[in-house]
Structure 1
């Protein structure tokens, strides 16, 4: 009886949530229908009117030409000789929007006009950025003076600047970044008004700067807030979401290609940020949409009904198109999981870690030859996953200022082996062993503190042996490679390998400065002879365009499968002309394989809720029926 009462109460709460969501949906769709009727009436009236008289005087023609935004041929605006869609914003002059992008822009416009926030969740690589730029162009043209705020990952803010310059060069843009003194000067420019379009600028900044400068940025009343890679606020208790909620904002938009990553509470966090008056009770949301039942698959009519209701709840606020949904040709993408065995030394260390005898094992090895041992417990916290780990010596040819300081601090350490083994995070030590044993013990040249780089670097790791066999073939056949890893320390080892085999390469990770990031991206895309791009998955897997590559190697997988998908789509996106092949390296019968299997299980819920063919956004379907 108690269960029946509880079930009835949950059903009542769910129906209430569904009712509130439906109010938004019906309101927006009615507005759309009304607009269509007005447009039909306006068109009918215009047909009955006499054409506008041509401008006869030279002065009049000159004045009209000066006010024209883009060339007009036979009454049709054009860009590079191509007709511009009548619905494309006038200030978007750097290219022609594709039909599905026009639909997305229209969806954003309707949400804004009716004071509703939303999530643009198009699959990665379909041009969410340009749709947002189109929306800001429309706002400026409609008389909204701004300012407008874009908050994005550090790796993408330079790309935002470049896209504005390319597609909407007349829209004023400010990159809010740099030192505290520089940001203080930049803050004063936000109040300035463009003499051309009479509007405040679009301010582009990173998550970290926004958190640090929220009191300063909070003084402005923002017409539009765009949070790029919006899944960054999936944790409802993170500081970023708290600071964003304190801003004075008229309208909010989240951009994410992966709105559902691990569980429904993360999706609810996004919805609560956008629409707190609708999504205000996480416990009810989670209680009804039972995650465990959904991951087992839809087996009953009742469970199917629950999923259908969730689709209806999300429909007004979320627009999602995949590459298969749109009428555009993209070369195929194929992923291969390549299982590799552990080398002999890897297997010995792996078993020693499992048996918690690794300290004894390393000390015994120390009696045979000199090793540099550097193990540190690395948290599985995603915010720390890109920090690497302690190294006693760094390659002198690639020392950063921070690394030089660390080197000076370590110069007092005696030139003898240091064993600093921590097993407080056993999983991380096993992962490092699967990637390369040098992450646990890196041999030195006798009598020096210089790392030894020779054939043993390759033979001691099963994955690196595979990479060493693959790369010559890929290079010979003219392919360009993106290699992703979770660990910056592993990228150090891959860099040693690339130098040893004379492979041209560039690198991008969490420590790469903003300007340097864009320079390296541009260099890799423009230089056909630049073979390999080494990237940390979380710093290099977001919002950057590397379509010059056609091969992706996932050296080690992420617990969150969406991060690896983001990484793959750096090259499988609009602009790619070749088939894309992804190789995922997995050490067989180890924690490596366990991680891949767990990640695949997490995708079951995402496929069910977000990527259903029937779920493209109710409003989007209505727009497509025009």
Structure 2
């Protein structure tokens, strides 16, 4: 049978054949090189990781009594002789050689072999459960070596896996083709080759041309070259590696779990789905070629669940990466030919969605929002990509029946917003959901606690399933509920799947100014008042985009029974937040509150059952108070002194914290917030890392932070140049510098 490559034309001969084979050989060499480079980088990690894992396994085995060996062999192994010889734990047996065991009276060759086999079986089971924890605050030589080795692979990024997968496939394909095509490189060899060999050579040349041209279209030679360069860079310095680990620790731990083979229990990672559903989802091969990020195992399963089950709800607990799972599902469909996708979300997360799609994938994203939403929608219809719009805008767009295209997937974030079918937003979502084959609802609210809400949502996705969902399923417990609704619902909890992650996850929440926010901000810029610019996003509480997102985050934490600490530099911002949240709010802690009273408020907050919110001025709560009852930290604005943020977060992320701490920093795009983030990011991160870990920095932030007045002046001047000043307004950047000290 002739290969598909023959469709490109007749197979080349002579010089053209030789040139084609040379191109294929170079491509094969590049593929093998990138595989070797990755293998060396992985070996460097394993050289440090394996002894660490062996030590952890040894520690666990040292706590397992010798009698467990009998359980493994169902009582067939007698350990009396070992006990009489002084063995007490499985660890002692596992560390002993076969020869040494045979020296024990009463232990023959067969018994020694069975004993070591049983100990090895337990050791393998233990190894599947242990996980290396990297202590950022107490680094030692071993963990530093591990972080440096991991840094090489993390820095190279998700392209490493894509390059390795493509290189493996190419090597497997090109090797036999080059061998078969060999005679075609010489007319003499072709003359003396048999007819069958000549036929195989021509077919191989056709297939080689297809493979080489396909690799060029996918830019694989460039990918292989870049990944090899990245993997061959000199090792990072210890300080640089530790700083990078702190900034993106989740990527380090994801890679660590992959290389160590450790991770969450599979049933937990798969949401305790029934076996038949889990098997069907697991069988789907997720195409990650359009992704720019490596997925954790449970995230990849979530993306496959969305694709395989077609119309589902992913209700993972907050902090588990529902957004990246949705993007992975879209990227898979795009890699398989999909062109149009639609995301509907609250206005408060629209910017986050556009940023995340761009950062995590190669997909084109088109915000459909604001005054030019109709033009943006028409552009999406014509050219495709991921359209991101809001609940309030969706109903103003042409209905799916009128649209020129039907999206390959509809994603609805914060799907509990459409639980009431009578609302306009719910009707608009339902109209699109009815016509789209694949629909993915995302919500962090546990549906087993709100069965009526779930029934309403699932009615839009799987109407046939809704009548079977009753309140008794929720009353029977979360696992019983999840099994009952398995075809349409997947939820994982942090405790189930983040056992090996560090207890700190940072999320920047980018918001877009509302009209009222922008008016207040422009006025502050025109007057040159830096501090007023920083809190302009809260000047009109009823229309504040930041405040709306804060309410959503607190609401999701309430649904999961989590405690929240809200920090701001400004007392008036905290007052606004307190009024917006209402009940279950403690504080605010501020400089005017006596130290003893501050501790009383923290104690009362910690003692409250379930969800509660503590408000704190960042200067008052950032030092000396332990808030480890909280697992969600919200920063109302970025700080001029980064150490203030680190110290405040450290109040919750410290010894005694048993949950992953989520840090949400509220930021306004195209504003003082973005200027501060950009300017402070350009500081020397290594110096900042050293200083922050010193005792001096803990007590004297001014020693390492940038000048308030310098930063304020630069930002005010930049913003006054960027934004036109209203007629008659006055103000100067110097005024902002003097304004910088007042935390009112």
TM bracket (short chain): 0.3 to 0.5
TM-score, structure 2 normalization: 0.37
Q: Which has the higher contact order (CA 8 A, sep 6+)?
A: 1
User: Between Structure 1 and Structure 2, whose CA radius of gyration is higher?
Assistant: 2
- Structure having the higher helix fraction is 2
TM-score, structure 1 normalization: 0.43
